[in-house]
Amino acid sequence: MIISKDLFLLGDQDYLRLPNKDEKRPAMIRPVVKSQRIDTTGHFPCLLADQRPLPVHLAFRGLSASAGPRPILRDVDGLVRPGQVLAVMGPSGCGKTTLLNALSGRLKLDAGHIFFNREPLCKRWKRKICYVLQQDIFFPDLTLRQTLEYTARLRLPDTMSYSQKMQYVDHIIDVLELTNCQDTIIGDYIKRGLSGGEKKRANIACELLTNPSLMLLDEPTSGLDSHAAHSLMTTLKRYAVSEGKTVVLTLHQPSSQIFHLCDKLLLLCNGQTAYYGDTCKVVDFFSSIGLNIMPHYNPADFILEQVKGSSDLQQRIINAAKESRRNKDYPIELQHDCHYISDKYDHSNKILPHNPYSNIEQDTLNAMEPDVRRLWLDTHSHASSSVSSETSDADCYFSWPTSFWTQFKVLSQRNFQEARPRMLSKLNWVQTIGLGILAGLLWFQLDRKEEALHDIQGWMFFSTTYWMLFAHFGALSSFPPEREVINKERQSGAYRLSAYYLAKMIGELPLTMSLPAVYHLISYPMLGFHSPMVFLTLLGFLLLNTIVAQSVGFFIGACCMDMQVSITISALYTLATQLFGGYLATNIPAWLTWMKYLSMIHYAYQNMQIVEFTDGIQCASQSKFKLCTSDLNHIPMSSILEAQGSYLPLWANTLVLLAFLLVFRVLGYIVLRFFKAPK
């Protein structure tokens, strides 16, 4: 019997077929896993039935992984069903996080198989996994609600309307009891925001928004007090049961209450299985090898103490765990004579181009529990239809949850909102206005005469250099913390890098331009306003220069993981670009003149002069310019620039600046896409 993919779990009854389009169907479906107690409080409204993922029956067998020559995981097995919580425990460094990395598909395995229902882990399944990392990585200036809303808009499919997405955000906030702090900023070390426990729940909430089938959580209770940890675990357990989620989490030293909330336990010792089975049977397992727990002792503490014991004791426990694989109650899917894995898939986990169903042993299927069998067959009906197509990998087809346009729009808004308090901080306003007034006072009302030439050039060089450095170092310092968030989101397949990159360039543009524009608005009229056209053109070039310098800063930030290295490289480049800019040194040694062509300030400064001195300036009474005679009282722009060496026309300087902009933006993208892509 082949059961259609349209079958789904409903209530405590059975699998039911989704009604046809013309049949009336309930707007909301609450999936509930069979054989679990059902939450009937109505606390968990869920997505529309066709947006709800298939529950996952996760089986992994013989997983081995190493870091260089050192083995980290050796022959690790496990199985967990929808609605169940599998706790991975063991001493620090035993390989818990490594196991979660392997299950999420972020780690290359030396050996072993991971199966979702009956399919190997592929991109299509990766999209159904949420991985809550140990670290809480967020934009600190966004509130919790803003963070969740942006995540929902990015990661829930375009088929859902905006209001449906917001409804889902409300639901998740409610589920994780975050209502009271939804308008609090996330915060960081400097700005106080959410508490540690709230941040942890916010982290989980962001991942839950993707409506995953499988949740992987790395130490979700670490750093929480016992009450908060218990409350979080209860919420997770309740959520898993009522929404049919499969949960795998690592725990360090749980209380006995938390320990007993977990259905299954995988105990690791030096990367090997020390126990796998029902949590409630672990104490019996240890007594069967002569290790008895004292009355009223926390079983979690007891088993951790045993696996931290002498190497003889550890080996005894590992041997007993190996022996227990032969027990008849060991899951059939994990037994080594179960053929479906080795026959149907090659070692690289690709589906072989023939009908896989023919190789599933009927005995294996019969031995499975009915609900597991249904899940396997249900997934099979979907997979086999894909396998029958020409491409063997068709079932692993991966598509983004939202279109490029949606991603670009949402990321632009988020970039703007996130960057605004940072870029337009009070401090930056004070600095800009203060500096604008100071520059205006210093170079106050200068006549366009040769006597004031050096001062006018000073104002231009200062303004150009200052804003270019400001934008360069601004991009440099903002990028490393942002990269953490971007990497996390890219790893979970939230959006295209190209959408992020374009949004980053465009979303921050108004912010990048605001401060230099205000500075120019203050200082130029103080310097001496003589033509609106010159005022506007100078402003345009000042803004262009700023964006060019920002591109270079962004590129260096993308290349260097280490902030100190990126600051050193930037300082070297920006100081060199100033020296060769054409103001500080005009008689550059011939063998070094080529350096000025690498200086972005050189082109920017030349352009400013070309615009400002279009009409030339009046000669001084004792002029340095030879062309100033008693007959000619006017120095043209070309002579002013020639006095500094050769110069390019306005269009050529502008073209070079645009080339700087384009090349560094493209290089930044290439670095992020190919060289610094998150693993």
Ligand X SMILES: Nc1ncnc2c1ncn2[C@@H]1O[C@H](COP(=O)(O)OP(=O)(O)OP(=O)(O)O)[C@@H](O)[C@H]1O
Binding mask of the shown chain, residues 137 to 166, with x at each position contacting ligand X by CB under 6 A: ------------------------------
Residue 65 near residue 72 (C-beta atoms within 8 A): yes
- Tell me how crowded residue 69 is: count the other CB atoms within 10 A of its CB: 5
* 74 interacts with ligand X by CB under 6 A: no
Q: For ligand X, which residue of 13, 20, 41, 92 counts as binding (CB under 6 A)?
A: 92
Judged by beta carbon, residue 255 or residue 618, the one nearer ligand X is 255
| Strands 85-89 vs 634-635: parallel, antiparallel or unpaired | unpaired
Q: Shortest distance, CB of residue 96 to ligand X, whole angstroms?
A: 4
**Which ranges of 424-528 does DSSP label H, i.e. alpha helix?**
426-442, 453-491, 497-507, 509-528
Residue nearer to ligand X on the CB measure, 95 or 401: 95
Residue (234 or 253) nearer to ligand X, CB = 253
Closest separation in Å from C-beta 252 to ligand X: 6
**Token pair 């992987």 is at which residue?**
216
Minimum CB distance to ligand X, residue 85 (Å) = 18
What is the nearest approach in angstroms of ligand X to the Cβ of residue 313?
19
Tokens of 356: 């896989």
Asked whether position 72 contacts ligand X by CB under 6 A, the answer is yes
Number of residues that bind ligand X (CB under 6 A): 10
- Given the rule CB under 6 A, which of 86-94, 123-131, 592-600, 606-614 is the region that contacts ligand X? 86-94
The residue among 552, 415, 393 whose CA lies nearest residue 489 is 415
Q: How far is the CB of 205 from ligand X (least distance, A)?
A: 23
User: Which C-beta is closer to ligand X: that of 72 or that of 558?
Assistant: 72
Region from 4-12, 88-96, 458-466, 601-609 binding ligand X, contact rule CB under 6 A: 88-96
Cβ nearer to ligand X, comparing 561 with 663: 561
Stretches 89-97, 286-294, 304-312, 316-324: which one binds ligand X (CB under 6 A)? 89-97
CB 113: neighbour CB atoms within 10 A?
Answer: 18
A 10 A CB-CB count for 352 gives: 13
Which of these, 608, 583, 598, 604, lies nearest to 657 by C-alpha position? 604
Contacts of ligand X in 93-132 (CB under 6 A):
93-98
Among residues 377, 328, 375, which one has the least CA distance to residue 34?
375
Q: Which stretch binds ligand X (CB under 6 A): 85-93, 109-117, 523-531, 633-641?
A: 85-93
Q: For helices 196-208 and 226-243, what crossing angle results, to 10°?
A: 10
Q: CA separation (Å) from 587 to 165, 579, 590, 596, 600?
A: 64, 11, 9, 12, 18
Q: Tell me which residue of 19, 213, 230, 3 sits closest to 104, measured CA to CA.
A: 213
CB of 90 to ligand X, least distance (A): 6
**Distance in Å, CB of 259 to ligand X, minimum:** 16
Full 3-state SS string of 64-108: EEEECCEEEEEEEEEEECCCCEEEEECCCCCCHHHHHHHHCCCCC
Element (H, E) at 120: strand 119-120
Q: Pick between residue 75 and residue 482 the one whose CB is nearest to ligand X.
A: 75
Closer CB to ligand X, residue 95 or residue 474? Answer: 95
> Concatenated DSSP letters for 415-451?
HHHHHHHHHT-HHHHHHHHHHHHHHHHHTTT--SBGG
Report the C-alpha gap between 266 and 251 in whole angstroms: 11
Structure token digits, residue 8? 């789904």
Task: Return d(Cα 249, Cα 86) in angstroms, integer.
Answer: 6
Residue span binding ligand X (CB under 6 A) among the ranges 44-52, 90-98, 345-353, 392-400: 90-98
CB of 36 to ligand X, least distance (A): 28
Decide whether 135 or 362 has the Cβ nearer to ligand X. 135
User: Could you tell me the smallest distance in angstroms from the CB atom of residue 101 to ligand X?
Assistant: 7
Q: How far is the CB of 219 from ligand X (least distance, A)?
A: 7
Residue with smaller CB distance to ligand X, 19 or 93? 93
Contact range with ligand X by CB under 6 A, out of 76-84, 87-95, 120-128, 369-377:
87-95
Interacting span for ligand X (CB under 6 A) from 92-100, 155-163, 208-216, 241-249: 92-100
- When the beta carbons of 95 and 212 are compared against ligand X, the nearer one is 95
Indicate the helix (H) or strand (E) that contains 247. strand 246-250
Q: Quick one: 454 or 679, whose CB is closer to ligand X?
A: 679
Q: How many CB atoms lie within 10 A of CB 657?
A: 20
Of 101 and 246, nearer to ligand X (C-beta) is 101
Q: How far is the CB of 674 from ligand X (least distance, A)?
A: 21
Shortest distance (Å) from residue 231 CB to ligand X: 22
In sequence order, the 6+-apart residues with CB closer than 8 A to the CB of 62 are 75, 76, 77, 111, 112, 113, 336
Residues 608-627 that bind ligand X (CB under 6 A): none
Report the C-alpha dihedral over residues 165, 166, 168, 170, rounded to 10 degrees.
170
On whether the CB atoms of residues 558 and 672 are closer than 8 A, the answer is yes
Binding mask 48-67 for ligand X (x = CB under 6 A): -------------------x
Give the binding site for ligand X (CB under 6 A).
67, 72, 90, 92-98
